[in-house]
Structures are given as structure tokens and as C-alpha cells.
Amino acid sequence: MAVYTDITDAELEAFLGDYDVGTPLAFKGIAEGVENSNFMLETTAGRFILTVYERRVKAEDLPFFLGLMQWLAAQGYPSAAPIADRSGALLRTLRGKPAALVAFLPGLSVRRPTVAHCLEAGEGLAWLHLAANGFPGRRVNRLGHAAWGELFAPLGPAADALKPGLAEVIRSDLARFAERWPSSLPEGIVHADYFPDNVFFIDGRFGATIDFYFAAWDQLAYDIGAAVNAWCFEADGSFNLTRAQAFLEGYERRRKLSAAEKAALPVLAHGAALRFFLTRLHDWDATPAGALVRPKDPLEYERKMAVHREGLPGFGSWS
């Protein structure tokens, strides 16, 4: 359940009073996701998503996120366009928390991506990178490579509680990244959370991307590495080379990768796996028993990191 903030009818009516979006017909919470409270809103003017921002999202970052979404929509990229109120503001307050209204996007996400889905998703990510080119906003990736050591520092006991000896393995990974993390690769705006549940398909074709609340400035190929982790592993933790090749083929339909980017993909994907392991481990250790939100299993990404340490079959190795 991903609704942390309950909204009353009176609060919704007061909030919508400053928008030209008609009168509400239906309003319900959306269970997917773990970061924010999301609601489906249907009015006499159409369908919208109302988001109340919680947890990791910092209020000072929201103008960047909403501005990026507005920019992408203006470039013709299928992302949810923020709705401005009558004063032109994209960001409001609801229950004392930042909130925004965005246009509803049609389409469905997939739980088990096929090769065809990966081909489409890869092209969609490259399209995003190109569409974001020129966006004037900048945001440091606070969950990027430079942050991992500090993030892990208090989590050693939690790692060992999950799997004895894991903390030392993670420290070894961090040391290798410190020595060999690639630099001088093409940079730009990255989505940084391009998971299957954030990509919509319509009749099997790429339809839209949602949830830009981790977007930042980073190496573009890092975004590909994170996406390969999300799209190209089986439920048992094994790597699916065919899906990975399809994802890269789709990406290069829009944007060709340099030789340096291709060579760096194994280490970037390994690093991205560590990033998601660390944030999941933090949430796993911090979520109180009985909470309505079920944290995501960090061991899923521990298994992916183990595969990366051995080298992805047919995809390359950086060891």
C-alpha cells in the first residue's frame, strides 16, 4: 500500500478549487510505488494523477522534477505533464506536504518483460535522453556513485544480518568502484529509476514513462546499466542476455553508444545494482514491523551483484 496521506473529500475540493480541471467524479488511492502517496482523480474535464510527496523526495528538488516533466512533454516525449493552477504554479501544498497534479497517461506496465518489450523500452530510454537535452535544470544525483560509501557506512550490521559476511563483500565492491569508476562519458539527464513499473506500453509498443522523482544529471550510460538490471534478469536471479541485447538494440535506434560507453556498461550496471541494494537495505532496516508499506527485498539486488562479480555471460566483465 503506497498511500501514506489520506485525503478527505473536503480537502480535495479545496485543493481543486484553484485549478481549472472541472469537478471531481472519482478519487482513489493507487497501491503501486513506495515513495509517495498517489491518487487517481477523474473529473468532468478528464483524468489526472494527484501526488503528495513523502519520504525521500526533498521539497527543494520538486521544481526540478516538475520542470523536467513539463520540458519533456513540450518536446513531444510521452511523460505526464504537470498541471498548473490558475496562478501558474505547478507545486501546491496538501495536508502540509508538497503536492502536484499531473495529466493521466494511458498504457500498462508489464510485470514480466519480453524481448519485444525490452527493445521498445530501450528505444524509449534513448528518446528520453535526447528529449531532455537542453533542459536548463541541474540536480546532483544524490544516490549516485559518490554517495554509496556514506550510505553504506551505518548499514554493515544490517547487511550481515541479511547474509553473514555480506558487509565485507560490499566494502570490497565500494573499494573497486572508487578505483575504477568510469569518467568522461557523455552526461545528461538520467531517469535513474527506469523500471518496468515506470514504463507504459500500448499494444506492445512503448507508450510513456512516469515517475521522474530520482532524475538527475549523470552519465547517460549509467541509466542504461540501471535499466538492464531492472529489465534483463529472471526471477531466479539469472541474467537474460537476449533481453539485454534487445534493450541495447532499441536504445541505439535513437542514440548510438560510443565504444567507451559500451565498455563501461558492466561496471555501471554493477554499480547501479549496488545503489538499489543500498536503498532497499536502508528501507528494510528502517521500516517498522506492522507498517502498511512492505519494503522491497534487498537480496534481489544482492543476487544481481553476485552475477555482476562473475561477469554477465556474453555481455562483458569489468573484473
Question: What spatial distance separates the first Cα and last Cα of the chain, rounded to whole Å?
Answer: 40
Domains of the chain plus CATH, in order, are 9-103 (3.30.200.20), 115-310 (3.90.1200.10)
pTM, 2 dp: 0.92
Other beta carbons less than 10 A from residue 44's beta carbon = 9
The per-residue pLDDT for 29 is 85
The per-residue pLDDT for 38 is 87
Contact 190, 222 (CB under 8 A): yes
- Could you list the mean pLDDT of each consecutive 10-residue stretch along the chain, which spans 319 residues? 70 92 90 75 94 83 96 96 95 91 94 97 98 96 96 95 95 94 96 97 96 96 98 93 96 97 95 96 66 72 94 70
SS3 42: strand
Residues in the chain: 319
The per-residue pLDDT for 34 is 59
Contact 101, 195 (CB under 8 A): no
Among 184, 73, 75, smallest CA distance to 134 is for 75
Q: What share of the chain is helix, strand, coil (3-state, %, to 5)?
A: 45, 15, 35
